[in-house]
Structure 1
Amino acid sequence: MTGKASIIFLHGASSSGKSTLARLLQDRIERPFWHISIDHLRNSGVLPLERVKAGDFKWREMRAPFFAGYHASLAAYAAAGNNLIIEHILDTPGWQGELARLFAPFDVLFVALHCPVDELNRRELARGDRPAGSAEKDALTIHEGRRYDLELQTSDGVEENAKRVMVAWRGDRAASWFFEVTLGR
């Protein structure tokens, strides 16, 4: 842990429990952390989703500039001295490299959250706000070829996983594996 802003980056499939873990971390960790996710923006009305659904706007045309702005805003929050718990799904080529460049000045803990596919499917169905099968698709692809500073299993429980994240965050760490795309590790 250093004097610069900290970023705890939770990476996992949709419905894997990132939000639950982030809320518990925010509640327990000894420094103030913002909890930020795309769901927060979507649910707050930032995006004109009703007009996207009505066909007035095309999400595929809005997606790239939306995420470029989102990623830049995360770096700006940290540059202002805010610690962040970020939930994200790195499902687009180049995003990790883009974020690694933006997050280079900060202390990053890159955390994988794994959840069994049958449980993801159950959670996705219960949520009812995701296309069927998207969580399973995420789970089968987003972790490929990535190295993490910490890997967690949802089956270990949110309390145990929060403890593991806090121990890792507090500990002495080498450069985060998050930066391997720019450091060539």
Structure 2
Amino acid sequence: MKRLLLVLGFVVVVFFVWKHMQKNSDNGLVVILNGPSSVGKSSIIKLFQEKNEKLWLGIGIDSFFVGVLSSKFYLEDKPEHHAVMRGIASVNSDGNKVFDLCIGEVGQKVIKGMNRAIGAYARAGNNVIVDYINYDSSWIEDLKAALSGVKVVFIGVKATLETIEAREKIRATSPQGHARSHYDSVHQGIVYDLVLDTENKTASQAAQELMEFIRSKA
């Protein structure tokens, strides 16, 4: 009788492990492109989507953080808005402009929601490619927790600060000095599966390299 119970217990454990694996196999793949502002992530994502025959959802911090806020929170610098976000412009000791984006206590909740929304898309069976900027060292750890059970690939997107700031000036979509504010910290503590060099590659070449890498892991 005791042996029978042990066998039954083993069968139950195997069944639940199998069910868990089956459930996870239905999840989509998440590709996180992390790098500073103006390094070329959004261009890579658009071309990656175009080159791919499969459906890939392209989302990111612009659409899931800034895009869900009223414009007053980033256009009007008022004390009552600082709990969400605040931009601080300064000049460093070398005379370079620096623009820090500080996310407040309320804004941090939005980031946690963004991380979980990425997971929700994947758990519904969607492949997701994400434009990410790791402003805060706690964000990546929270993202990893939010994506537990989902297959994730971390991609670093890099170029020299000189090149990035030249692009930042041409694009004029973010304050001058924004990329400089997080250039030295955005990659800290992250182990990448692949690094894309946008210093020496076009966005199209980087997208192709990423696509071939993803295919090799399928």
TM over 0.5: yes
Size of the alignment, in residue pairs? 171
1:152·1:161 contact (CA, 8 Å) conserved in 2?
Answer: yes
Which residue is equivalent to 2:99?
none
For 2:73 and 2:206, the matched residues in 1 are separated by 39
User: What amino acid is the match of 1:30?
Assistant: E
Which residue is equivalent to 1:105?
149
Which residue is equivalent to 2:90?
none
Unaligned segments of structure 2, at least 5 residues: 1-24, 86-103
- Aligned pair 1:57/2:101, yes or no? no
Root mean square deviation, CA, Å: 2.0
Deviation at 1:43, TM superposition (A): 6.5
User: What amino acid is the match of 2:157?
Assistant: L
Runs of 4+ with deviation above 6 angstroms? none
- Aligned pair 1:116/2:160, yes or no? yes
User: What amino acid is the match of 2:195?
Assistant: E
Question: Tell me, what secondary structure is at the counterpart of 2:173?
Answer: coil
Q: 2:57 aligns with which of 31, 34, 44?
A: 34
For 1:14 and 1:39, the matched residues in 2 are separated by 11
| Superimposed CA distance per residue, residues 13-71 of structure 1 (whole angstroms, 9 cap, x where no aligned partner) | 10000000000011112311100012224675x20122553325322243111111111
| Superimposed CA distance per residue, residues 120-168 of structure 1 (whole angstroms, 9 cap, x where no aligned partner) | 1111122323232221232222123322100111021122211211111
For 1:148 and 1:52, the matched residues in 2 are separated by 31
Unaligned segments of structure 1, at least 5 residues: 174-185
User: What amino acid is the match of 1:48?
Assistant: S
Which residue is equivalent to 1:183?
none
Q: 2:175 aligns with which of 103, 112, 131?
A: 131
Q: 2:214 aligns with which of 151, 165, 169?
A: 169
| Larger relative contact order (CA 8 Å, sep ≥ 6) | 1
Question: Tell me, what secondary structure is at the counterpart of 1:69?
Answer: helix
User: What amino acid is the match of 1:57?
Assistant: H
TM-score, normalised to structure 2, is: 0.71
2:44·2:203 contact (CA, 8 Å) conserved in 1?
Answer: yes
Deviation at 1:172, TM superposition (A): 3.2
Q: Which segment is superposed worse, 46-55 or 89-98?
A: 46-55
Question: Tell me, what secondary structure is at the counterpart of 2:196?
Answer: strand
TM-score, normalised to structure 1, is: 0.83
For 1:148 and 1:130, the matched residues in 2 are separated by 26
Kindly name which structure, 1 or 2, has the bigger radius of gyration based on alpha carbons.
2
